[in-house]
Amino acid sequence: MPPRRPATGHFPTIAEVLRLPVLAEGMPRVLAGQSQLNRAVRWVHVTELLNPAEFLEGGELVLTTGMPYPEDPSELRGYVDQLADVGAAGLVVELGYRYRKVPDELVAACRTRGVPLVELARGVRFIDVTQTVHALILDAQGALLRRGRDIQDIFTALTLRGADPEELVHTTAELTGAPVVLEDLTHRVLMCELLGRPYEPVVSAWSRRSRAAPTLEKIEPSGPEGWLIAPVQDYQGPWGRLVLLEGRLNAEPDPEHVLVLERAAVALSMARLAGPAWWERRAHRSVLRDLYERRFRSPADARARAEALGVPTLGHRLFAVVVRHTHTGTGEHLDERIAKAMAQTGIRALVGETAPGRIGMLLALAQASAWQPVAERIGRLCREELGPEAVVAVGPGVTDLSGIARSWQEAEQTAEAITPDSPDRWFYVPADVQLPELLGVLREDIRLQRYAERQLTRLIEHDDRNGGDLLPALRAYLTAAGNKSVAAKRAGMSRQAYYQRLHTIERLLGCDLESGLQRTSLHVAVLVLDAPSAAASGT
């Protein structure tokens, strides 16, 4: 069976070249650098010189029948150093013409420098080797040029229609078939496309792993995991990095992947230059919504994604915060302003707009007892930025992200329930939602509305027909907890006139106002009746 040709647009590797019939007949045997046989061969160079480096550019597979054996064997180490320093792909030595056996010094030097060394037990025609391999290389180069034009067209089209950064990252991952991460210069993962992989093994301990992979002058494997990295710029200079988790530690990077990464990094840089780019806020919003809607496949994934954005979770008390506001100003995003203000006070959190009129936060506090001063500080900041109508609600603290969705729901319900009639505080917790606030949240429930109508319709109709004030009198009585004297004073009536109205109420409704249960039922009905106007004025 003929050897498999390298994939279109990819340079052949040393292993693929050794399987070609023109070299296989020489009975090749690898003496050093076995782990480096996936290096790409960019050219084949035949030489018998002891100093070939000046004729090489890197990536060449050097063929020789054996350079002149030097008087000083240490010169063989210098020969290998030249090959390694210039970046030659490997060395192939044909036995029989000059050597009966590859010198031990040469083998040792190649092993030391990681240069693949192959001996050919039988002679082969070097001209046939060069012609065959060069044909493969030229085919690969032509295909790569054509593919490069296609890649350029793809990212040009995305740039011209103003594609979101998420789409650019997604396209990069699809074209390469590898996970892609967009990070800022502080090594926070703002966006990532993992192609269905779980977050935890890919982005866990991201900051530490990313710092171990420097940005190189050209795109080639970097760091202990062999990532490919391209810088992303904005108008201030370096802004972040686009990272392809290819993981080809001991191999040349895939040329097509390099092209994709280069074009994607340029497209992202242009997107940042096009105008204000609230990418950090977009990342926070995305994670917050995923947490609230429980879209992470596991708690480990949720922790990894939050921590990759710089918010610790393990060993911390976690709080969900919801800010309700009616601000309609333009300019910088409200969540961006809140996040900046919080950062200036040292509060670490995820902050993002989760819905119109809603800003969500995830706080991670090392000291659980510190949550109230922090919540008050957030309340003050929100009042300063959003005005006095801003409502800050804090959900119960949890120790694991798996419980944050429920905390968030309670915070959302609390924020929704607070009305202008509620006590004025810097922040609210679920315990602050009393019966009036609870009924305000449930005011749209048709069953509650019908209940109130059944209880009070006869009273309301009587007032409408006679221009009476029985409903206000009942409201004053219920508010005063059944104290008739206090209620009469609040209603601005004499006791005799007020008592007469209470008797009329009892007759119309067929109830006993001295009954605690009936009085409670009527009080709930009045609160339901009053709830729509009170809640509406608070939105």
- Given a contact cutoff of 8 angstroms between Cβ atoms, the answer to whether 528 and 452 are in contact is yes
- Encoded tokens for 378: 């957030």
- Encoded tokens for 388: 């006095």
Residue 501 pLDDT exceeds 90: no
What is the C-alpha separation between 114 and 112, in angstroms, rounded? 6
Which of 417 and 17 is assigned the larger pLDDT? Answer: 17
Q: What percent of the chain has pLDDT over 90?
A: 34
Q: What confidence tens digit (pLDDT) does each residue in 408-458 have?
A: 999 998 988 887 777 889 999 988 877 776 776 677 778 878 888 888 888
- Given a contact cutoff of 8 angstroms between Cβ atoms, the answer to whether 159 and 270 are in contact is yes
What is the C-alpha separation between 108 and 110, in angstroms, rounded? 5
pLDDT at 71: 65
pLDDT at 3: 35
The residue assigned the tokens 């990094």 is 265
What is the C-alpha separation between 312 and 294, in angstroms, rounded? 19
Cβ-count burial of 145 within 10 angstroms (0-12 exposed, 13-18 middle, 19+ buried)? exposed
> Residue 64: beta bridge partners?
93
Q: 376-390, 499-513, 523-537: lowest mean pLDDT where? A: 523-537
pLDDT at 5: 37
Distant-in-sequence, close-in-space partners of 371: CB < 8 Å, separation ≥ 6: 317, 319, 363, 365, 394, 397
What is the C-alpha separation between 384 and 322, in angstroms, rounded? 16
Q: Give 64's DSSP letter.
A: E
Cβ-count burial of 125 within 10 angstroms (0-12 exposed, 13-18 middle, 19+ buried)? exposed
pLDDT at 250: 57
> Residue 119: beta bridge partners?
29, 93
- Given a contact cutoff of 8 angstroms between Cβ atoms, the answer to whether 229 and 242 are in contact is yes
Q: 204-208, 277-281, 427-431: lowest mean pLDDT where? A: 277-281
pLDDT at 211: 95
In terms of phi and psi (left: phi > 0; alpha: psi -120 to 50; beta: otherwise), the region of 440 is alpha
The mean of the pLDDT values for the chain is: 85
Q: What confidence tens digit (pLDDT) does each residue in 18-75 have?
A: 999 999 999 999 999 998 898 888 899 998 888 888 888 888 999 998 766 666 777 8
pTM for the model stands at 0.67
* Distances 454 to 406, 442, 502, 522, 531 between C-alpha atoms, Å: 35, 17, 19, 10, 16
Q: What is the dihedral of CA 459, 460, 464, 467, to 10 degrees?
A: 60
Quick one: average pLDDT of 116-137? Answer: 91
Q: What is the dihedral of CA 382, 383, 389, 390, to 10 degrees?
A: 10
Report the first-to-last Cα separation within the chain, whole angstroms.
76
- Coarse DSSP helix, strand, coil percentages of the chain, rounded to the nearest 5 percent: 50, 15, 35
Query: Residue 411: which of 365, 351, 358, 350 has the closest Cα?
Result: 358
